Amino acid sequence: MTSLGYDLATARVLWWRDLVRFFRQPSRLAGALGQPIIFWLVIGSGMAATFRMPGSSLGYLQFFYPGVVLMVVLFAAIFTTVSVIEDRHQGFLQAVLAGPGSRAALVVGKAFGSASVALSQAALFLVLAPAAGFPIRQIDWPLLVAALGLAAVGLAALGFAVAWAVDNVQGYHAIQMTLLVPLWVVSGAMFPMSADHPTLAAVMRANPVAYAVSAARRALAGELAPGVLPGSAARDLAVVALFAVAALALAIVASRRRA
Amino acid sequence: MASTATTGVGATASRDALDRPPSAHPAARGEPDRDRPARLAIRDLSFRFGERHVLRQVSFEVGRGEIVGLLGPNGAGKSTLFSIITGLLRPASGEILLDGQEIAPGARALRARMGVVFQAPSLDAKLGAFENLVLGGQLFGLSRAEARARATELLAAAGLADRAGDPAGKLSGGLRRRLELARALIHRPSILLMDEPTVGLDAAAFKQTWELVRELSRRQGLTVLLTTHRPDEAEACDRLVVLAQGRVVATGSPDALRARVPGDVVTVEADDPAPLAAEIAARFGVHPRVGAHGIHLERERGHELVPRLVEAFPPGRFRSVSIRRPTLADAFLAITGRDLEGDA
């Protein structure tokens, strides 16, 4: 067996394991669908009364929907990578670490496993797209899947890096709540970028999640949808892809730390 | 990877062998093959955790088909050594040789040829017994079909065939340990590494585990290295490497190590052992040790001392006097001056 063969086998086993575990737990499936719906309806309706998109008649529920899709991806990435912490000292990952696969293969397998779970959860929520005013046939699916998939890999890899470095569950959640969740909040998911707040606009432009949200908006509502960042869909995807690669690299470096 | 067509251990063979005590297998007592390099050799391995020297220049060898036990109390450095050999920790210095060739600690070449049983559970509790084995096999590059065939074979050998679909987390502790062992063997490793493999197992499960290991070592030349702090488990090994405070303090067969304790062990149980020990020392010119289970005396012709002890002290000074052949726990105490059961 070649080194590459072992690495591919390791990545495949970890990817498959995450998917099997997800689809076997009905509570996780129910939560995956219920939580974003509640979030979308409660926050969406609360804001709908006061929020008006500048220069658009779009309702807030419709504006907020692509943002919630990204939230599904973000939370899925956080909750599937937290298992790394216990799994590595007392669980399956121990066996993976002592096996012939490399640490990079472990990271890639885990990130793609998490990303696949995140995409599955997003797919469940996307069943509601017509109700939010996005007919299924008008959605640019390749663009949407690419944007969500790349964002999911990047966020899962970032989660992995944090999990490996922090090595305790409380610390992990503390960091994720102060790092990843704000990334989503200032991504344009809840409110669009505004010229009146140049600092916030600059933060948004530096935030990779903003490009994923922008690409999702393009895919769901077209190039001219409110909240889309200036530029092309290809640029949005390129930024998210770069983010995914950088996050994977960071996670691989983190995983080289022993034990 | 897989070199022989031989399957795991047949259920019949292990049942047949269960009637004999683990140490009675004649072939397993064979000396390692001196003409060929050791399967695994550790040379001058050191490891520090901050200022603490956890391992100091540890060296030993494990021959082909040999079962070697790393014996020492908790904190002696066994688990650290285990983590280094499995590639989870990097040593500060030292060498690891596989079949006489030096390889980097944690090298893929070594990992691919080892099967590892960890002290902490390493199965996926949510996945079934069969699935755990299949995934374990695929990690080592077995095709799905091969892994499934091996998994079926090993589940049968472990007596788990009827539990194949049960989640690993739902199995009893003993069955889980058996499944861990089966998973470690799925890719037919040439070295089996086990960290305290029988902790928490009852006598029957202990015996069964050891029969399986011994059978594989004898029939397929599987090399086995394990850590233990149990004298009865150490007794089942071909050879022992005694570890105390991060150093190798002795190596040898269980018999050879026991022979370091001359004669018999006389144990005196008393409510207030310290002053009694001092008195015994003064009266009989011996050097008793106060241990967890009473006052211990090692002495040749111990049977002659027992009546004299009984006559020397009034009734009530001690609860009992007993005499027995030395165990490996006594040998450990004699070699290191420490209790095997305690913490280092």
Residues B124 and B187 in one domain: yes
Q: How confident is the model at residue B9 (pLDDT cuts 50, 70, 90)?
A: very low
Domain at B204, CATH number: 3.40.50.300
- pLDDT bin (cut points 50, 70, 90) of residue B3 is very low
Orientation angle between helical segments A208-221 and A141-166, nearest 10 degrees = 160
pLDDT for B27 beyond 80: no
pLDDT in tens, B84-97: 999 888 999 999 99
Strand-pair partners of B102: B97
Considering only A24-28, A55-59, A144-148, B25-29, which range has the smallest mean pLDDT?
A: B25-29
In a domain, B306, yes or no: yes
pLDDT in tens, A81-126: 988 998 888 889 999 999 999 999 999 999 999 999 999 999 999 9
| Predicted model pTM | 0.84
Single residue among B233, B253, B273 that ends a domain in this structure:
B253
Same domain, B279 and B248: no
What pLDDT was estimated at residue B342?
65
The region of weakest confidence among A47-56, A137-146, B13-22 is B13-22
The number of angstroms, rounded, from the C-alpha of B314 to the middle of its chain's C-alpha atoms is 43
Note down the domain range covering B311. Answer: 262-325
| Average pLDDT of the residues in A6-18 | 96
Q: Give the pLDDT score at B331.
A: 87
Predicted confidence at residue A162, as pLDDT, reads 93
Size of interface A-B (CB pairs under 8 A): 81
Q: Are both B86 and B39 inside the same structural domain?
A: yes
Residue A224 at interface with chain B, using a CB cutoff of 8 Å? no
**Residue in B with minimal Cα distance to A256:** B88
Same domain, B153 and B283: no
Cα distance from B139 to chain A (closest Cα, Å)? 5
Per-residue pLDDT tens digits for B31-40: 445 567 899 9
Give the CATH number, domain containing residue B316.
3.30.70
Within the 71-90 window of chain A, which residues sit less than 8 Å (CB to CB) from chain B?
A: 89-90
Confidence (pLDDT) at B76: 87
Q: Reduced to 3 DSSP states, what percent helix, strand and coil does chain B have, rounded to the nearest 5? A: 40, 25, 35
Is the Cβ–Cβ distance between A156 and A81 less than 8 Å? yes
Q: What is the pLDDT of residue B226?
A: 95
- pLDDT at B10 (0 to 100): 38
What is the interface pTM, i.e. ipTM, of the complex?
Answer: 0.87
Give per-residue burial for A197-232: e unless 16+ CB within 10 Å, then b.
eeeebebbeebbbbbbbbbbbbbbbeeebebbbeee
Q: Are residues B94 and B19 in the same domain?
A: yes
Q: Within a domain: residue B338?
A: no
* HEC secondary structure over chain A: CCHHHHHHHHHHHHHHHHHHHHHCCHHHHHHHHHHHHHHHHHHHHHHHCCCCCCCCCCCHHHHHHHHHHHHHHHHHHHHHHCHHHHHHHCCHHHHHHHCCCCHHHHHHHHHHHHHHHHHHHHHHHHCCHHHHCCCHHHCCHHHHHHHHHHHHHHHHHHHHHHHHHHCCHHHHHHHHHHHHHHHHHHHHHCCCCCCCCHHHHHHHHCCHHHHHHHHHHHHHHCCCCCCCCCCCHHHHHHHHHHHHHHHHHHHHHHHCCCC
- A13/B138 CB distance under 8 A: yes
Residues belonging to chain B with any Cβ–Cβ distance to chain A shorter than 8 Å? 1, 83, 86-90, 108, 111-112, 114, 116, 118, 120-127, 131, 135-136, 138-141, 183
Residues B158 and B281 in one domain: no
Residues B154 and B281 in one domain: no
pLDDT at B5: 39
Same domain, B150 and B235: yes
Please count the structural domains in chain B.
Answer: 2
Q: Give residue limits of the domains in chain A.
A: 3-255
Does A91 contact B at CB distance below 8 Å? Answer: yes
Are A258 and B108 an interchain contact pair (Cβ–Cβ within 8 Å)? no
**In the listed set B253, B286, B307, which residue is the last one of a domain according to the structure?**
B253
Q: Choose one of B207, B229, B253: the last residue of a domain.
A: B253
Do B140 and A99 count as a contact with CB atoms less than 8 A apart?
A: yes
Q: Are residues B128 and B150 in the same domain?
A: yes
